[in-house]
Amino acid sequence: MTERLRVHVDPDRCQGHARCKALAPELFELDEYGNAHEAGDGTVPPGLEDKAWLAKSNCPEIAIDVIEE
Amino acid sequence: MSDISQPAAHPPVTDWVHDFDHTDPQWTEDPFPIWDELRAASPVVHTERFLGCYLPTTYEAVREIANDSEHFSSRRIIVRDVRPEITSRNSAPPITSDPPVHKPAKQLLLPPFTPDAMKKLEPRVRAICNELIDGFITEDRLDAAERYTKHIPVRAIAHMLGIPETDSDLFIRWIHMILELGIKDENTLLQAVQEMTVYFSAHIEARKTKPTDDLISYLMNARDKDGNPLEDSHVLGSLRLLLIAGIDTTWSAIGSSLWHLARTPADRERLVAEPGLVPTAVEELLRAYSPVTMAREVVKETTVSGCPVKPGNMVLLSFPAANRDPKMFPDADKVVIDRRENRHAAFGLGIHRCVGSNLARMEMQVALEEWLKRIPDFALDPAGTVTWSQGTVRGPRQLPFLLGKAM
């Protein structure tokens, strides 16, 4: 079964807690203020699916979407 | 500290639901059953104390208020017996700012506190921890608050600001005056603010002729959106904020963490065996023993979780109580050091997310890692008494431990 995931950070909700960067550094980047956005187009490389869900479920601002494609 | 007068005592609480008081000794000692009782009664409770104050008891109610700067102002962020006049002398932007002033003031402070910036500071913090441990490693009993947890954040923030780490006792005294004694005694509060202003003004003046590579110079060199430097009062306010917010908060968080590990051998042994779990454990300890309760002032009538709230009242924005809400966190009353899903609000929610959260997390991780590496065995000393700070920031101020072979 090949399920492709993509992560997306809602920039209006993100407050820079940086939990996603700590838990899934491959999937997220921080700007100069420490606010997060997805790395590249947000595509989750195979093997990192668990980290994508972990980042989502630890974001205090509910700013992260994990989209199943 | 003999020149600091002790504040007046409040009458004891007999009806928590209608007359709560976060400075009551029972709350200070063990607030968790009180929060459970209040949460069972209503998502928002009220007291006539402190000239009128609400307390949201659920995670959802806390989130609603934290995300609503239209009805809830940050111009007052500590619940006190008095409502001191708001002036530039006691403001501390951005924590006391509302939109639209808040965002530029916050953005100014964010770059020096990113996770990457904290990585650069980490070696100094690790060294501070080890210098402190060197001072007591051969002893078999000590007060870990007095000898360890108290000193780590104050030295780290002094290092960042570029002021002498040896002035630490002075900073700790001001914080005690502002956050604890100042709740019930305005003169003590104003005295501390005045002393801090004199202290930092001298450091600002010195840097006008001789700039340095530290956070004070960084703030002095900052420019607003029109390219103008910040007024001295803004720089002073931000320095006051960094010093106050950066010290007894993390001191408390490290202390509560060690307190938990001292009385929970299974968790302690697991972290000693699996140091990689420390960052996850830090999040859970932050949830279970969140040190910081913020406040808002109601400026416009509204409802929160269906409960009416009226202007003129303060709101005790209890992130610690939110983090114990069983609707949000399964087994909310248990410390689960490998908890996977943890949207805790220890650093606040919404636009006022703690600017120093990355610093606090780094300090907590390093302080626990270095302690556990060198002192894997420790326990509470049954001959001593653990005491907790009162009011806005909760953490152990006396932490009597037995170390190693004395256990």
pLDDT in tens, A14-30: 999 999 999 999 999 99
CATH code of the domain made up of B16-406: 1.10.630.10
Q: Percent of chain B beyond pLDDT 90? A: 81
Which sign does the torsion angle of CA B140, B145, B149, B153 carry? Answer: negative
Q: Scanning every residue of chain B, which has its alpha carbon at the shortest distance from the alpha carbon of A53?
A: B341
Q: In B, which residues are within 8 Å of A15 by CB distance? A: 349-351, 353
Q: According to the model, what pLDDT value does residue B32 have?
A: 98
List CB contacts (< 8 A) between A61 and chain B: 349-350
* Neighbour count for residue B24 (Cβ, 10 Å): 20
Look at residue B1 in the predicted model and tell me its pLDDT.
Answer: 38
Candidates B107, B286, B343, B344, partner chain A, best to mutate (most A CBs within 10 A): B343
Residues 77-136 on B with a CB inside 8 Å of A are 107, 110-111, 113-116
B232 to B205, B220, B364: CA distances (angstroms): 10, 8, 32
The DSSP code sequence of B146-198 is IIIITHHHHHHHHHHHTS-GGGHHHHHHHHIIIIIGGGT-HHHHHHHHHHHHH
Q: Measured at the alpha carbon of residue B317, what is the angle toward residues B311 and B318, in degrees to the nearest 5?
A: 150
Q: pLDDT tens across B356-377, in order?
A: 999 999 999 999 999 999 999 9
Strand partners, B307: B304
Our CA-based measurement puts residue B376 at a distance from the nearest CA of chain A, in whole angstroms, of 26
Average pLDDT value for chain A: 96
| Chain A hits for B341, Cβ within 8 Å | 57-58
pLDDT at B210: 93
Over 90: is that where the pLDDT of B143 sits?
A: yes
Instruction: Tell me, yes or no, if A47 comes closer than 8 A to chain B by beta carbon.
Output: no
Q: Give the model's confidence band at B225: pLDDT under 50 very low, under 70 low, under 90 confident, else very high.
A: confident
Domain boundaries, chain B: 16-406
Architecture label for domain A5-68? 2-Layer Sandwich (3.30)
The answer to whether the Cβ–Cβ distance between B115 and A21 falls below 8 Å is yes
The pLDDT of B125-135, averaged and rounded, is 98
pLDDT tens figures, B285-337: 999 999 999 999 999 999 999 999 999 999 999 999 999 999 999 999 999 99
Residue of B nearest to A57 (CA): B341
Beta strands in A1-69 (DSSP E): 5-9, 28-30, 36-38, 64-68
* pLDDT for A2 beyond 70: no
**Candidate from A38-42, B161-165, B270-274 with smallest mean pLDDT:** B161-165
pTM of the model: 0.94
CA dihedral B248, B323, B76, B238 (to 10 degrees): 50
Q: How far is A2 from chain B (nearest CA, A)?
A: 25
- Say how far apart CA B22 and CA B392 lie, in whole Å: 8
- State whether B279 and A22 contact (CB < 8 Å): yes
Which residue do the tokens 């689960």 mark?
B336
The string of pLDDT tens digits covering residues B31-44 is 999 999 999 999 99
Share of chain B above pLDDT 70, in %: 97
Q: Do residue B283 and residue A58 have CB atoms under 8 angstroms apart?
A: yes
pLDDT at B385 over 50: yes
Q: Residue B38 is inside which H or E element, if any?
A: helix B32-41
Query: What average pLDDT does the segment B226-255 reach?
Result: 90
Q: Is the pLDDT of residue B131 over 80?
A: yes
Of the pLDDT bands very low, low, confident and very high (cuts 50, 70, 90), residue B90 is low
Nearest to B78 by CA among B238, B240, B314, B303: B314
Write the DSSP string, B337-366.
TT-S-----TT-SGGG--TTHHHHHHHHHH
- Closest alpha carbon within chain B to A62: B343
A6 touches chain B (CB under 8 A): no
pLDDT on residue B73: 97
Could you state, in order of their start, the residue ranges of all structural domains in chain A? Answer: 5-68
Confidence of residue A57 (pLDDT cuts 50, 70, 90): very high
Residue B177: is its pLDDT beyond 70?
yes
* pLDDT exceeds 60 at position B381: yes
What is the distance between the terminal CA atoms of chain A, rounded to a whole angstrom?
12
